[in-house]
Amino acid sequence: MDELQVFSIAGAKGHGRRSCPFRTETELQRFVIHHAERLVAIRILAREHVIHTNGGGRIDAVGTDGRSTPVVVEFKRNASGLTICQGLHYLDWLDQHLEVFAEIVMRRFGDRKASKIRWNSARLVCIAEEIGAREEAVARQIGRQVELSQLRRYSRGVVTIQKSLTAPSQ
């Protein structure tokens, strides 16, 4: 993926922006969750959702998009190997525990919203500062709705998001 450059132009003079990487995955996660609707068009319903079945784990975030589609969000500073595998593990949990997800939606938004969930198109969104070629290759092969988005933060509040791949479900 080519480096994305961001500039702020004021009058005849342009000002470059310094890259300001996140110090930790948790910092990246909190930033995106706080701005999720604006940045990735996802309404976050729960973060760090603990699961006790399917081998257990902690889902970084679950939410819905504007079409009431369930979304599992996986965050990494550097997605270069097993990010999609981990996300698919959580997507599999979602497929097997629809009632738990529906309960989260119901508690947050009520029965009406929960009844409109589009179960047949649940998707995985992986957000990272760096996305490796392996992640892109895996996403192309799996036959599920997977989105890889590279997020970069720059000085003075500038943020870029570049979708490196959206693999449609088959």
* R_g over Cα of the chain: 17
Query: How crowded is residue 49: how many other Cβ atoms within 10 Å of its Cβ?
Result: 19
Confidence of residue 112 (pLDDT cuts 50, 70, 90): confident
Residue-wise pLDDT for 31-81, tens only, equals 999 999 988 899 999 898 888 876 778 899 999 999 999 999 999 998 887
Domains of the chain (ranges, CATH numbers)? 7-167 (3.40.1350.10)
**Higher-confidence position of 71 and 13:** 71
pLDDT class for 136, splitting at 50, 70, 90?
Answer: confident
Q: What is the pLDDT of residues 137-169, one digit of tens each?
A: 888 888 788 899 999 888 877 888 888 766 665
